[in-house]
Structure formats: structure tokens, C-alpha cells
Structure 1
Amino acid sequence: MDFSELIATKAAKVGILGLGYVGIPLAHRISEVGLRVLGFDILEKRADDLNSGKSPIKHIPDASISQMLEAGFEATTDFSRSSECDALIICVPTPLDKSREPDLSFVVETMDSIAPYLRKGQLLSLESTTWPGTTKEVLLPYFSKAGLEVGKDCYLVYSPEREDPGNPNFHTRTIPKVVGGHSPHCLEAGLQLYGTFIDHVVPISSTDAAEMVKLLENIHRSINIGLVNEMKVIADAMGLDIFEIIDAAKTKPFGFTAYYPGPGIGGHCIPIDPFYLTWKAREFGIHTRFIELAGEINAAMPQYVVDKTVKALNEAGKPLKGAKVLALGIAYKRDVDDMRESPSVFVMEILRDWGADISYSDPNVPVFPKMREHRFDLTSVDLSPETVADYDAVLLLTDHNAFDYEMIKKHAKLIVDTRGKFRNDSEVVRA
């Protein structure tokens, strides 16, 4: 059978390369519609956990992994088995390096791992965020080296991931999926694959255009978050409540979208993706001033929070050096366990370096994980009236629903609120 028949009859096997926050939900959804799924990861423990029915991600329950296994899902670290798959979807990280330039090493290493096993009839889709031209310039040559003609012998597409971890209103199936193909035949194959498990698939003219779509989406968010963070600083200096102002502004039924401030921005996308376009734009002699300014504002927010904390402690007669400070929430967003680029960690680092005795409490992150650039030997503090009262300052950095805010307010000596949770309390410091 050709690719179209394999998909139509659900005889195809789909390989998911990278079993993380994007790959696992995608594998689950594909399994739901009856396609066989083989998952690939470089971490042996990740593969073993999944094969035993254990979810490595908080917002994906073990029951979902069990459903996948019952449907025939299997995880492996053996990339030679990619030859078994009729479609391969790459969902690996694309971080920035120390110079804040694109790091495609995970994509390249994945392609190197599967290159000897590429064969006729396969479709390859890249979902990792990257700069326009990556699919054509980085992935396409692997097929040429394998003696395969893309669009005739095999298919190459780009379809940007659109996961929103912890959001109960949107799921993999219901989030529209943009698909761009290297050729019309590639696009047709990509639409057929994604159309089997996504409710609404959006075709676009090329892989380059699809890559730019993802960057525009996240640059839009970065710039608007940067704007509202700057507005927060201005409003605070004027003695105004930025949350009251946003809530009033969003009653306008047109021309305004509400964004809310915080201690910075986090996650794998918004702090990183804009710089992929900034880097690529330099090739065309373009300076992306708007994008970079938003990045500067957002990157400065952890320092703003620390400055507000220092001032509040000083007014309470307590120097920062030696002060016991508790960070509430270190995941990058509410009700998830994802620590990537979390602004909470940058706040903690500054406080620690300035002499504070820093601890944290996060029900979703029981032990501070090993990270490439951040190191803390800490475990999450269990909250109780006694433990909260023992700290000189409590910083609300991520507003998890699991926190007992009433108890925290009652027993904390000093609260610094970056999320507007205590917005109506005049005794709480807004930051």
C-alpha cells in the first residue's frame, strides 16, 4: 500500500521522536484514533517509565499512558526501528545556546540517528520551533544523501506544535494544526496524516511559511507580555492597580486582548522563539528592535521583583542578607511541573547571590530538578501555618491553585505578590 492507503486504512505506524511535553500528548491522540505509535527518546528511563504505564508529566495521568499501551504504543531508545514507521514526527527541544543563538543540536542528532533508516514511502514532519528555512536547509539534505526524492519517493512537512500544558480548554485534537509541505504532494500527505487525528488542519504554502507562523504566534505573546509588564511598573510607580486597569480595559468588545503581568516569562517557547527570528533576520540585514525590546523588558522583571522584595524587607526592618525567603511556585506557569526558563528560578538565584536564605514550595515540583544553568539543592517545603510564619518574606511567583492562599495571608509576615492574587489587600506588596 502507498502512504495514502496506509493512513486511510489506519494500517500506518507513526513514530514520535521525542517523548516530552509535546510528544506524549501527540502520541496519546494518535493512539486514540487507532494508528499504531512507536515512541523514541534518548532517555532510557523515560522509555522504561512509559512502557510500564508511568507518566513523566504531571498534567498527563498514568491512565492516559495505560490507554496508549493498550492501543499498541511502545517506547524505545533504538532509533534503528524508525524504519518500521510510515510517518515520523520530530518533537525535540530547540533551545538557545549561551550566545542566545539557535541550537538545533537535538534536531540534527535526531536526524543523524534516523538517517541510515530513511526509506521510500515515509513522511517526515518537524514540529520543533525553529527559524524559517530549517526544514528545507537542514532536513531536506538527509533525503538527498539517502538517494530519495522528496515529493516523489517520500514526503517532508513542517507543522508547528501548539500544546498549552495545563490548559483544560484546549487539547491536541481541538487545537487547529498548521501544515506546510516541501511540495504539493508533501502537503497533501501531511494534510492526510494530521487530518486523521486533528479536528481542523490549516494548509499553508510552504514549510518556510509554517515555520514563520509559529514564530509570529510566540513573538505576539512575548511583545504583549513585555508591554503589560512595563505597564505594571508604570502603574505601580503611580500607585495604580494594573490588574484593575486590565480588567476594566478588557470590557471593550473589540481592539483589546488582555495579557497579565508576572515576574517575567517562562516555558520553552516565549522566552526563546523570538530570538530564532532575530538571528535569522540578521542574514537579511534587519534589526528586530521591537522583538528585542520586549525580550529586554521581560528579562528584567526578576530583578524588579527582587528590588521590590529588598525594599519591603528594609521597611520591615530586616536586611536581605540572612533573611529567610520562601518562593511560592517555581514552575513557569500555573498548575504544571514544567521548569523550563521559569522566571521564578532567576528570582531565586538573585536572592541567593545577594545573601538571602532561599527556600521554595511547589506541589508540582517536589525536588528541584537538575538544570543546565541553574543549581539548587532544595526540596519543596510543605506549607503549614508554622512554616509560613517562619519566613521573613513569602514571594508568590507562580499562582498554583493548590496553594491555600487564605492560610498564607493569615500567617505570612510579609507577602510579595507578582500575580495579583492578593490584589485587594493593602498590606501585600505588589511586584
Structure 2
Amino acid sequence: MAVTTQQLSNKLKSKEAVIGIVGMGYVGLPLMLRYNDIGFKIIGIDIDKNWVDLLNSGKSKIEHISNDSISNALKNGFEATTDFSRASECDALLLCVPTPLNKYREPDLSYVVSTVNSLVPHIRKNQVMSLESTTYPGTTEEELLPRIEKQGFTVGKDYFLVYSPEREDPGNPNFETRTIPKVVGGHTPACLEVGIALYQLAIDKVVSVSSTKVAEMTKLLENIYRSVNIGLINEMKIVADKMGVDIFEVVDAAATKPFGFTAYYPGPGLGGHCIPIDPFYLTWKAREYGLHTRFIELSGEVNQAMPEYVVGKITDALNEQGKAMRGSKVLVLGIAYKKNVDDVRESPSIEVMELIRDRGGVLDYSDPHVPTFPKMREHFFDLSSIKLNAAVLGSYDAVVITTNHDKFDFEMIKKNAQLIIDTRGVYRYEAEQKIKRA
């Protein structure tokens, strides 16, 4: 191991290193708290001054991260800043920035590129940079490596570059940052050594792979696996519905097989910052090699069509009661992309809401985790969450369950709603006429 490699690895292992985390959101903030908790000094860098000011005042806007945890981190030396020149003080830079799709559903690496461009004037020798954002295989080599080398560094000797995909699962009580195994790939063997040293104190299990491309592909496979299986079960739901079969009962029965089957449940579509987006990163990159990823694209088409299917079922249910969608009062329960979180990114619930609005429905929503409809780039509703009680529920022509938060009182909802359209199988074994599956 080269002297520089050994020096940086030792500095990381002894916790003398300063960790810079760029992007203080759903990925960066939990990482900060973990490294801070085990004794590292952390500098958090973010372009949002309001968010930085909020963090420095000891406040959090992410529901599952408490104000107390931020306040404690500040006492232990954490500070947030918008000043990218502070990167020069850091021994490690962890990049946790968004990688969305553009309007053509192609990879948008603008956040990654602009972040790296803002950092490279301030990087120095004996530093490691780790990209954690989900992206297509080759991004680290094609976008980060040339920019670092342009500064005069030799990656693998006096600068170190790794890719280690984030695996956060907000709202999952069974896992936390520390307990989720960390995949790490380095540009060179020396980069990998430093990457392992960077993560091994903070994460219980570090899984090393042979290259950054392998690590990048690993994250895509994880999410494509889920996307394809969810697409399969959503398609099965449509077929089962036509046959008069309850797909939730079918899945529950199939799940009793102790081998060879993993239960996936249908819903109103895909949401979150990973599964609706990541498959298209590989689809786009595959075209460079003359390949057409038909299987991946087909599952994407099925999942993207689910909100339209759900609204069709709402319309049918209203028609059965002699009502049209236009003018009917519709209450959507849950606009977060999954249960028990406040994250609405790519939430299919919001597309369901837009389709209802477009068809003339009089729309409201209730979500105990999202008190006011947030500012979003592509969606707008001037709405706040409705507090549920018997009278409120009874005033709507239809109540649509799109996210099955544990905070909802589903017994009260069942008792008082005139009509329920259930997309999550909450009432999978209920036989009441007013409950419709979608």
C-alpha cells in the first residue's frame, strides 16, 4: 500500500479524518448522524441556504429525523454550510445528491455534475471522494474521474475515488444506516482500500466489489428487481380482477410456500426516489451498446399505467352508485409514496389526484405525515391535509386509500365512509359492498 493510501486509511480508522457530506437530504442526513455519533467531525454542504440555516439552528424538516438528533450532532461538532470551499478541510467527500429523470425519461446528471464542478477547485491530495447517488454504470469513471484528473491528481496514488450506492429505506423500523450492508467499488485497488476504511467504522458490514461499475450496476439491479416484480404483480392484479379473483388473497396464499417465492403486493403505482427512476438509467445506458431492455421497459409501462387503472376503478365505483366523477367529492388517503413516511417524491398518489382533478372530481387529501401539500417541480395542489372524523368521512362520495399509513384508523374509516376504493389491500378480507378493490 502506498504511503498516501496508508496515511489516509489510518486517518479514517483513527477517526481523525474530517468527513464532508454533500447533499443533506434523505441520504446525506442519516449518514451525517451515523458518522457524528461515532466521533467524526462532519461538515455538511448543501446549496439550499434555508435548509442549511434550519440545520444549524438544530431543526429538521424530515419527519423521521428528530430535532434532538440534529441538536446533538451540532453539540458534537457538526456544522452545515453552503460554502463549497470548505471541501478543502475534508479528508473524505460523500456525494449524496439527486439523480432524477428529465422530461424525456432520460438520466439527469445535472446535480452530480454541478456538485463535482463546485467541489473540484477545492479538492486536495490525500482525499477520497465517494459518489452515493444512484446512476448508470460508468458514471464515476466518465463524469467524476476526468474532472479530478484535470486538477492534476493521479487517482489511485494521490487522490482516491469510489462509488458506494445509498441503500436508505426511510420508515423501515428493522434497518438503519449502520445495519444496512454497504457495497463499495474503487477505481483502483488503492481506492478500494481507502473506501473500505471510509465505511468500515460506520457500517456493520462492508461488501467490496471489483470496480465502480460493478457497484453502480448492483444498485440498479436491486431496484430493477423490485420494479419488475411489482410490475408483474400489478399486471396479475388486473388479470385477477377481470376473473373476479382477489389478488391479495392469492399472494397471501402463495407466500405460505417456504421456498422459491417472494411476496410482492400490488398498489396504485411506483413511488419514491429510486424504483420509478433507476431502471431507466440502465435502459438509457444499454442503448449505447445497441441493446433494448424490453423486460425492464415493459415493467415500467405496467407500473406507470396503474394510476390510470385506479382512477378507472374509482369512476366505475361511483357509476355503480349513480354518480359521475365530475362533481363528486373524493378524499385521497395518503400521498406519501409509501406507508409511515413524509416523502412524496414520485408518489403515484399524486398522479391519481391529478387524474381525479382532470376528470372534474372535487378533491381533498388526508395524510398525517404530510400536513400541507409540498412545493414540487411538476405538481401543484393548494391543499392541506384533512383531519379525519366520522362526519368528515361521511361527507365524501368516495374515499381512496392510496397509502396505508399506520396512523389511519381504518376501522373508523370503514364504518363512516360512503364508498371506499382500496388500492393497498387494507380490507382484503372484507366483503362489504361499499369496499371496492383497485
TM-score above 0.5, yes or no: yes
Note the alpha carbon deviations across 1:103-125, whole angstroms, 9 max, x for none: 00000110111111010011000
Runs of 4+ in 1 over 3 A off after TM superposition: none
Q: Does 1:259 align with 2:273?
A: no
Give the SS at the match of 1:322. coil
Q: Does 1:33 align with 2:33?
A: no
Q: CA deviation at 1:310?
A: 0.2
Q: CA deviation at 1:33?
A: 1.1
1:90 corresponds to which of 87, 95, 102: 95
Question: What residue in structure 1 maps to residue 54 of structure 2?
Answer: 49
Task: Provide the C-alpha distance between the structure 1 equivalents of 2:39 and 2:55, rounded to a whole number of angstroms.
Answer: 19
Question: What residue in structure 2 maps to residue 20 of structure 1?
Answer: 25
Question: What residue in structure 2 maps to residue 158 of structure 1?
Answer: 163
1:102 corresponds to which of 81, 101, 107: 107
Q: Does 1:298 align with 2:274?
A: no
More displaced 10-residue stretch of structure 1: 301-310 or 43-52: 43-52
Q: CA deviation at 1:8?
A: 2.1
Q: CA deviation at 1:251?
A: 1.1
Q: CA deviation at 1:165?
A: 0.5
Q: Any residues of structure 2 matched to 1:15-414 within 5 Å, and which?
A: 15-414=20-419
Q: CA deviation at 1:75?
A: 0.7
Q: CA deviation at 1:370?
A: 1.0
Task: Provide the C-alpha distance between the structure 2 equivalents of 1:208 and 1:71, rounded to a whole number of angstroms.
Answer: 36
Give the SS at the match of 1:108. helix
Q: CA deviation at 1:52?
A: 1.2
Q: Which amino acid aligns with 2:317?
A: A
Q: Which amino acid aligns with 1:309?
A: I
Task: Provide the C-alpha distance between the structure 2 equivalents of 1:301 and 1:387, rounded to a whole number of angstroms.
Answer: 28
Task: Provide the C-alpha distance between the structure 1 equivalents of 2:408 and 2:437, rounded to a whole number of angstroms.
Answer: 18
Task: Provide the C-alpha distance between the structure 1 equivalents of 2:237 and 2:359, rounded to a whole number of angstroms.
Answer: 25
Task: Provide the C-alpha distance between the structure 2 equivalents of 1:353 and 1:392, rounded to a whole number of angstroms.
Answer: 17
More displaced 10-residue stretch of structure 1: 233-242 or 397-406: 233-242
2:13 corresponds to which of 8, 12, 16: 8
Give the SS at the match of 1:173. helix
Task: Provide the C-alpha distance between the structure 2 equivalents of 1:383 and 1:359, rounded to a whole number of angstroms.
Answer: 11
Aligned 8 A contact 2:22 2:97 in 1: yes
Give the SS at the match of 2:179. coil
Note the alpha carbon deviations across 1:357-377, whole angstroms, 9 max, x for none: 111000111111111111111
Q: CA deviation at 1:4?
A: 1.7
Note the alpha carbon deviations across 1:285-319, whole angstroms, 9 max, x for none: 10000000000000000001000000000001111
Identity value in percent: 65
Task: Provide the C-alpha distance between the structure 1 equivalents of 2:151 and 2:28, rounded to a whole number of angstroms.
Answer: 26
Task: Provide the C-alpha distance between the structure 1 equivalents of 2:135 and 2:67, rounded to a whole number of angstroms.
Answer: 31
Note the alpha carbon deviations across 1:63-98, whole angstroms, 9 max, x for none: 221221122111111111011100000000000000
Q: Which amino acid aligns with 2:63?
A: K
Question: What residue in structure 2 maps to residue 417 of structure 1?
Answer: 422
Aligned 8 A contact 2:19 2:41 in 1: yes
Q: CA deviation at 1:7?
A: 1.0
Q: CA deviation at 1:391?
A: 0.5
Note the alpha carbon deviations across 1:136-184, whole angstroms, 9 max, x for none: 0100011111101100011000000000000000110000000000000
Q: Which amino acid aligns with 1:429?
A: K
Q: Which amino acid aligns with 1:159?
A: S
Aligned 8 A contact 2:24 2:96 in 1: yes
Question: What residue in structure 1 maps to residue 436 of structure 2?
Answer: 429
Number of equivalences: 431
Task: Provide the C-alpha distance between the structure 2 equivalents of 1:369 and 1:63, rounded to a whole number of angstroms.
Answer: 24
Normalised TM-score (structure 2): 0.97
More displaced 10-residue stretch of structure 1: 70-79 or 83-92: 70-79
Task: Provide the C-alpha distance between the structure 2 equivalents of 1:13 and 1:58, rounded to a whole number of angstroms.
Answer: 27
Task: Provide the C-alpha distance between the structure 2 equivalents of 1:311 and 1:390, rounded to a whole number of angstroms.
Answer: 19
Give the SS at the match of 1:16. strand
Aligned 8 A contact 2:9 2:193 in 1: no
Q: Which amino acid aligns with 2:43?
A: L
Q: CA deviation at 1:425?
A: 1.9
Q: Which amino acid aligns with 2:393?
A: V
